[in-house]
Amino acid sequence: MLKIGIIGFGRMGRMFVKEILKNPLWQLAYICDCNQNSRQAAALIAPEAVITDNEDDIFADTSVNAVGLFALADSRFSQINKALKSGKHIMAEKPVASDTRTEWAIADAVERSDLIVTVNLFNRNAWYHKDIIDFIRSGEIGELAIVRIAHQTPGHMPQEGHDPEGPAFHDCGMHYVDVARWYANSEYASYHAQGVRMWSYDIPWWIQAHGTFQNGVVFDITQGFVYGHLAQVQTHNCYVDVIGTKGIARMTHDFKNATVELHGVTQTIIKTDAFKDKKADVMVDLFGRSILEGKNLGLPTVRDSVIASDMAWKMLHDAEKNGLPCIGKPEEMEEILARRRTMTNGYGLPAKNNVNK
Ligand SMILES: NC(=O)c1ccc[n+]([C@@H]2O[C@H](COP(=O)([O-])OP(=O)(O)OC[C@H]3O[C@@H](n4cnc5c(N)ncnc54)[C@H](O)[C@@H]3O)[C@@H](O)[C@H]2O)c1
């Protein structure tokens, strides 16, 4: 068994801890969180782990093979450095730091080490994206021309945390900036972005970016956590829509199941299977097997994360330059925040210190 210590027992930390406890490759040795309520919740869920508020307990323990870094972006740089110095493999949340220059320094340091280091770009562990990409690369849709992605939910609001990760288009949108680049199999060449200051909030919470990759593939990405927060019944609009010179491939999901529709020249495949949220089970297992085999068996890389983060910031700043219409009232935002404080089932709700949630 491999020993792991995790730092940050919030929404993501809890998701990963559940999968670590289920996976026979892993022994959960430590949970560190600076918040007393989170530590109490951790003690209930993992009674055999050491619960601490001092991350150095983990780095100093030479029997610990790996760390899971699930606190916020502002503490990741120092934690990654400590892990590299103490020879511990790393499974980190994104982004790996709260500014691009630091992120690039981390990518360089990680690539100089021989440790297994991965970032939770969860889409890269999703069966539905892998199916579509295999279909594209097989030539079934002809030459890839257009990649269209949308991720719009009544999700994480301003004032609900994640300040170091930036506005919605960076915090969440960097995932879709990564997915578009992965599909295009090329680097970004040009972009133009438009945002909206919803509820007259200072920062745009919905952005659409479009542009080109170096190989000529055209993209559009729409990300916003503004999708009907006050609707009687909440819904979302998330999809991938890929157009080739001969065929198309697309995916939608309802957060429970994902459906892939592949319309190629010789094959038509419609498939529905479990969506599986952040795919933490896949990540935890692949991370363990990669450490045991001494090589990355297909984990998302720090470089992919840093490129996505860097480009998401650039698109966000472009939106700021292109005029940001101000729509709605601050009172509407207050109403949304109040509703979310009492919701127990909703999109991207902050973690509550109740282990059953
Ligand atoms: N990959 C994804 O799809 C995805 C989704 C959501 C969040 N995230 C990322 O995961 C990270 C955590 O997000 P979350 O939603 O779980 O946040 P959260 O606020 O629910 O949890 C963060 C936890 O870390 C603790 N913490 C903060 N700083 C700490 C420190 N220095 N030492 C110890 N504990 C510390 C907090 O007390 C809190 O319990 C963020 O970086 C976020 O960007 C990724």
- Tens of pLDDT along 297-344? 999 999 999 999 999 999 999 999 999 999 999 999 999 999 999 999
CA gap 153, 346 in Å, rounded: 10
The domain locations on the chain are 2-120, 123-277+299-342
What does the pLDDT average to over 156-162? 96
- CA 32, 36, 41 angle in degrees (round to 5)? 75
Between the CA of 68 and the centroid of ligand 1 the distance, in Å, is: 11
What value does the mean pLDDT of the chain take? Answer: 97
Q: What is the pLDDT of residue 117?
A: 98
Which pLDDT value is given to residue 351?
Answer: 84
Q: What is the pLDDT at residue 357?
A: 38
**What are the residues facing 144 on neighbouring strands?**
244
Query: How far from 102 is each of 6, 108, 178, 220, CA to CA, in Å?
Result: 22, 10, 19, 28
Portion of the chain with pLDDT greater than 90, in percent: 97
Q: Is 260 helix (H, G, I), strand (E, B) or coil?
A: strand
Q: Label residue 159 by pLDDT band (50, 70, 90).
A: very high
Q: Where are the alpha helices (DSSP H) in 8-144?
A: 11-22, 36-45, 56-60, 73-85, 100-112, 127-137
pLDDT in tens, 254-285: 999 999 999 999 999 999 999 998 999 999 99
Tell me: the pLDDT tens digits for 82-141? 999 999 999 999 999 999 999 999 999 999 999 999 999 999 999 999 999 999 999 999
- Of 134, 206, 172, nearest to 11 by C-alpha is 172
Distance 148 CA to ligand 1 centre (A): 29
pLDDT at residue 354 greater than cutoff 60: no
Query: Which atom of ligand 1 is closest in space to residue 350's alpha carbon?
Result: 20
Which atom of ligand 1 is closest in space to residue 79's alpha carbon?
31
Rounded-to-integer distance, Cα 282 and Cα 124, Å: 10
Query: 136 CA distance to ligand 1 centroid (A)?
Result: 35
* Closest ligand 1 atom, residue 165 Cα: 43
CA–centroid distance, residue 10 to ligand 1 (Å): 5
pLDDT of residue 172: 98
For the structural domain made of 2-120, what CATH number should be given? 3.40.50.720
Helix orientation angle between 280-293 and 11-22, rounded to the nearest 10 degrees? 60
Cα(335) to centroid of ligand 1, in Å? Answer: 25
Q: Is the pLDDT of residue 355 over 60?
A: no
The pLDDT assigned to 24 comes to 98
Q: Retrieve residue 275's tokens.
A: 């969506």
Q: Quick check: 218 pLDDT over 60?
A: yes
DSSP string over 266-334: S-EEEEEEE--TT-HHHHHHHHHHHHHHTS-SSPPPHHHHHHHHHHHHHHHHHHHHT---EES-HHHHH
Q: Which atom of ligand 1 is nearest to the CA of 75?
A: 31
Q: What is the CA radius of gyration of the chain?
A: 20
Q: What distance in angstroms lies between residue 193's CA and the mean position of ligand 1's atoms?
A: 28
Ligand 1 first shell, C-beta below 6 A: 7-13, 32-35, 38, 55, 70-73, 75, 93-94, 120, 122, 161-162, 165, 171, 278, 350-351
Q: What are phi and psi of 123, to 5 degrees?
A: -60, -30
Distance 100 CA to ligand 1 centre (A): 19
Pocket test for ligand 1, best of 11, 31, 96 (most atoms within 8 A of CB): 11
Asked if 161 and 350 count as a contact pair (C-beta separation under 8 A), the reply is: yes
Asked if CATH classification 3.30.360.10 holds for the domain at 123-277+299-342, the reply, yes or no, is yes
Token digits of residue 191: 């972009």
Give the pLDDT confidence score for residue 352 in this predicted structure: 75
Distance CA 177, CA 221 (A): 7
**Helix 302-321, helix 173-184: angle, nearest 10:** 110
H helix and E strand count, the chain: 11, 15
pLDDT band at 26 (very low <50, low <70, confident <90, very high): very high
Residue type, 303: R
pLDDT digits (tens, 9 = 90+) for 176-198: 999 999 999 999 999 999 999 99
